[in-house]
């Protein structure tokens, strides 16, 4: 019954309005992004790519005569071509790229397409290991990436920064075809220039081209807003990202690259300078079928929003809020990985701070309307009962929370930590339902003062 679906969507609206979203990879999109996502563009098939003629603008006369050349496998493309072209052009401007492929359905699809574009099966990639803060698609054993390619993982130092010495020695030893910088739980700013120098040393030693890839899914919005450096400005060839985290667009992926832009119909020479064309071929037909043009339209809307001065203010506020929250948590005896944050992410060492694990804390915070996720720390061996929790400020900053609210948030988090300490297990949390309900009511009151866009 469709009614059940819409009832559940209404329930989710209440959950989102009455709680505070602290999962660092989530955000609230604008009403225009929602409108584009829910549009009739979902009805259209458009395998292939829009015209490459007319870059950087459009030849209005040809459009009027409907004689646009394109690389599509279906008719009726006149409008979706222009929408996809708009998304591509805006993405290139926003991230200083020569080319953008806006079709990946997700960040995982984007990463897979880059590997497929540049590597042969069995080739080596050097990336951050999962326990150190890397992503599943950077070669975690349970993923396809680890089955097809040979991933070597570098780690982090005790102060939470990338272990660049380890990265360099592994790079020289294994001579990877891709050096990958990217993360989903890392609070420092990567030194992209240093990684580019490591690449140069590997190229000198091996005599082969090495692709520098950055997976900036978490911080793409901070890059767009100018508060985080852009790897493409430091010699990186490719940057992948999702579009829904700090970038605040629809759920999806994006690949930006530097190099030659040309028709994807003809296979180019396998050289780094041709990586944009190799990537287009790797996305379609390499790893995906029909693009989701309603999502691509929503990406175009979100990229347009990110080009506005208000977005730079938003990006600055995300980081300010994260730093304030980190400082307040430290004052209340929370121990943070890396002692704080330089971006939107905070990783709490719950076990070291209070003696219980991240899963119990995640569950108790959920009960008061504060949503985050249990997360492994570099020292954890198994991901099932991690010692930490990960949180971040992109979503609550969209709702307009500021430093005053960050202080209140830290106080609630401490109260919930004290309850967990006494409870000792998830089963015992019910004994503290009155205390948890009091905090829940306070969270609800505050949350309702900061409406969610579109609700």
Q: Can you say how many angstroms the Cα of residue 335 is from the centroid of all Cα atoms in its chain?
A: 25
State how far the Cα of 296 lies from the Cα of 45, in Å rounded to an integer: 12
State how far the Cα of 183 lies from the Cα of 170, in Å rounded to an integer: 18
Among residues 103, 109, 111, 184, the one that binds ligand DSN under rule CB under 6 A: 184
| From 18, 44, 47, 124, active-site residue | 47
Considering the complex, state which of residue 25 and residue 341 has its C-beta at the smaller distance from ligand DSN.
25
Vertex 149 angle, CA 145 and 153, to 5° = 80
Considering the complex, state which of residue 80 and residue 162 has its C-beta at the smaller distance from ligand DSN.
162
Applying CB under 6 A, what is the total number of residues that bind ligand DSN?
Answer: 5
Among residues 72, 85, 99, 135, the one that binds ligand DSN under rule CB under 6 A: 135
Mask 69-108, x = binds ligand DSN (CB under 6 A)? --------------------------------------x-
CA distances from 261 to 19, 137, 281 (A): 45, 26, 12
Ordered DSSP codes for 391-435: EESHHHHHTT--HHHHHHHHHHHHHHHHHHHHH-SSGGGGGGHHH
Under the binding rule (CB under 6 A), the answer on residue 112 touching ligand DSN is no
Q: What are phi and psi of 151, to 5 degrees?
A: -95, 135
| From 35, 194, 251, 363, active-site residue | 251
Structure tokens at 144: 């396809």
Q: How far is the CB of 277 from ligand DSN (least distance, A)?
A: 26
State how far the Cα of 370 lies from the Cα of 162, in Å rounded to an integer: 30
Q: Is 215 tagged catalytic?
A: yes
Considering the complex, state which of residue 68 and residue 347 has its C-beta at the smaller distance from ligand DSN.
347
Q: How far is the CB of 395 from ligand DSN (least distance, A)?
A: 12
Q: How far is the CB of 133 from ligand DSN (least distance, A)?
A: 10
Under the binding rule (CB under 6 A), the answer on residue 182 touching ligand DSN is no
Among residues 217, 322, 406, 410, the one that binds ligand DSN under rule CB under 6 A: 217
State how far the Cα of 112 lies from the Cα of 282, in Å rounded to an integer: 9
Q: Is 251 tagged catalytic?
A: yes
| From 85, 90, 245, 415, active-site residue | 245
Residues in 278-307 that interact with ligand DSN by CB under 6 A: none
| From 242, 287, 341, 398, active-site residue | 242
Considering the complex, state which of residue 52 and residue 186 has its C-beta at the smaller distance from ligand DSN.
186
Three-state SS across 140-194? CCCCHHHHHCEEEEECECCCCCECHHHHHHHHHHHCCCEEEEECCCCCCCCCHHH
Q: How far is the CB of 217 from ligand DSN (least distance, A)?
A: 6
Considering the complex, state which of residue 143 and residue 230 has its C-beta at the smaller distance from ligand DSN.
143
Q: Is 260 exposed, middle or buried (0-12, 13-18, 19+ CB in 10 A)?
A: middle
Considering the complex, state which of residue 217 and residue 296 has its C-beta at the smaller distance from ligand DSN.
217
Q: Is 267 tagged catalytic?
A: no
Is residue 276 within 8 Å of 257, Cβ to Cβ?
A: yes
The maximal CA–CA distance of the chain, rounded, in angstroms, is 73
Cα atoms in the 13 Å half-sphere on the side-chain side of 349? 15
Mask 145-164, x = binds ligand DSN (CB under 6 A)? --------------------
Q: Is 98 tagged catalytic?
A: no
Q: 3-class DSSP state for residue 400? A: coil
Q: Is 415 tagged catalytic?
A: no
Considering the complex, state which of residue 176 and residue 253 has its C-beta at the smaller distance from ligand DSN.
253
Q: Is 449 tagged catalytic?
A: no
| From 18, 44, 45, 163, active-site residue | 45
State how far the Cα of 396 lies from the Cα of 406, in Å rounded to an integer: 10
Under the binding rule (CB under 6 A), the answer on residue 25 touching ligand DSN is yes
Strand partners, 23: none
State how far the Cα of 252 lies from the Cα of 2, in Å rounded to an integer: 25
User: Any idea which residues carry the catalytic annotation?
Assistant: 45, 47, 215, 242, 245, 251
Binding stretches for ligand DSN (CB under 6 A)? 25, 107, 135, 184, 217
């Amino acid at each position: 019954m469709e009614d059940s679906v819409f009832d559940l969507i209404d329930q989710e609206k209440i959950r989102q309005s009455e709680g505070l979203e602290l999962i660092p990879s989530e955000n609230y999109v604008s009403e225009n992004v929602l409108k584009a996502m829910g549009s009739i563009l979902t009805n259209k098939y458009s395998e292939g790519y829009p015209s490459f003629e007319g870059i950087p603008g459009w030849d209005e006369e040809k459009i009027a005569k409907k004689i646009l050349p394109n690389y599509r496998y279906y008719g009726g493309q006149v409008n979706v071509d222009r929408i996809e072209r708009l998304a591509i052009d805006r993405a290139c401007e926003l991230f200083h790229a020569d080319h953008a492929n806006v079709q990946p359905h997700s960040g995982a699809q984007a990463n897979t397409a880059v590997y497929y574009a540049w590597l042969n099966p069995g080739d080596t990639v050097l990336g951050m290991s999962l326990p150190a803060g890397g992503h599943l698609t950077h070669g975690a054993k349970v993923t396809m990436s680890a089955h097809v390619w040979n991933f070597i993982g570098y780690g982090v130092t005790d102060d939470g920064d990338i272990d660049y010495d380890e990265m360099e020695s592994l790079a020289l030893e294994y001579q990877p075809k891709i050096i990958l910088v990217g993360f989903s739980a890392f609070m420092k700013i990567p030194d992209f220039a240093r990684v580019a120098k490591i690449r140069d040393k590997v190229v000198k030693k091996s005599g082969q081209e090495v692709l520098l890839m950055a997976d900036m899914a978490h911080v793409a919005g901070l890059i767009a807003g100018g508060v985080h450096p852009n790897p493409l400005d430091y010699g990186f060839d490719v940057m992948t990202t999702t579009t829904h985290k700090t970038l605040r667009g629809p759920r999806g992926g994006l690949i930006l690259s530097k190099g030659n832009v040309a028709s994807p119909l003809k296979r180019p020479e396998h050289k780094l300078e041709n990586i944009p064309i190799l990537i287009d071929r790797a996305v379609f037909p390499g790893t995906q079928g029909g693009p989701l043009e309603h999502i691509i339209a929503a990406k175009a809307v979100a990229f347009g929003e990110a080009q506005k001065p208000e977005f730079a203010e938003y990006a600055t506020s995300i980081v300010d809020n994260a730093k304030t929250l980190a400082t307040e948590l430290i004052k209340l005896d929370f121990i943070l990985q890396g002692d704080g944050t330089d971006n939107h992410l905070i990783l709490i060492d719950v076990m070291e701070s209070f003696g219980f694990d991240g899963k119990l804390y995640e569950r108790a915070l959920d009960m008061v309307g504060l949503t985050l996720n249990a997360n492994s720390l570099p020292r954890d061996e198994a991901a099932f009962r991690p010692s930490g929790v990960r949180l971040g400020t992109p979503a609550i900053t969209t709702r307009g929370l500021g430093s005053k609210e960050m202080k209140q948030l830290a106080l609630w988090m401490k109260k919930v930590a004290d309850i967990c300490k006494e409870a000792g297990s998830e089963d015992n949390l019910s004994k503290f339902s009155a205390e948890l309900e009091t905090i829940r009511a306070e969270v609800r009151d505050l949350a309702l003062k900061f409406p969610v866009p579109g609700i």
